[in-house]
Chains A and B, each alone.
Chain A
């Protein structure tokens, strides 16, 4: 079993839909949870991070962490064609020196159809 599991999709939704992307993980030491967005043939860029359990909202994006279930989600409201990309979840056990080994999921490829 991989440390981080993520359904690779692909996921195709109409413009304006609410998108739900998810990851599960097995290592209870993970404390920081990130979502990266990767456009085709580009490097990943950090979208959001969350510490421990709870919700975090940034514009149309909401990240949720449920540590008791070892389950994290990213919700995208009013999805736009420009949101079409691969979304990667990533995790680290702590922040600060030594926290550079991000453990990534496989990524979910999202297409938002106009």
Chain B
């Protein structure tokens, strides 16, 4: 079946602009996660959804970052007033539930690479 789909795959924007990144999880997966991976670093947790609600948004760096998942499937990560430091790969992942069938197994998409000029 289809994996996690992320769009756009690449986004170049100017400092101060607004950006939306979309994630379509694996069908039937109730848990959805956003991670951010800077160049040469491992992914870092941003936010976790169980169903429609954000169960944990403790990883969001500041209030310029916001994410929604209104119908419990597709999620959008929104970044306001982008800064050069926001440049990174934004990875979305899903899992069947918060209690993963295989411990620590997240199914990642290919990511959206954001470049802020």
B residues 72-117 near A (Cβ < 8 Å) are 91, 93, 95, 97-100, 102-111
Number of A-B contacts (CB under 8 A): 84
Tell me whether A100 and B98 are in contact in the complex, defined as CB-CB below 8 angstroms, given that A43-B93, A92-B103 are known contacts. Answer: yes
Specify which of A34, A43, A95 lies most central, judged by the most chain B CB atoms within 10 Å of its CB: A43
Q: For the complex, would chain A's binding face be called helix, strand, loop or mixed by DSSP majority? A: loop
Q: How many residues of B contact A (CB 8 A)?
A: 29
Tell me whether A106 and B104 are in contact in the complex, defined as CB-CB below 8 angstroms, given that A41-B110, A97-B98, A101-B48 are known contacts. Answer: no
Set of chain A residues within 8 Å of B93, measured between Cβ atoms: 43
Give the residue of B33, B43, B105, B111 whose beta carbon is less than 8 angstroms from that of A49. B105
Using a CB–CB cutoff of 8 Å, the interface residues on chain B facing chain A are 4, 31, 33, 40-45, 48, 56, 59, 91, 93, 95, 97-100, 102-111
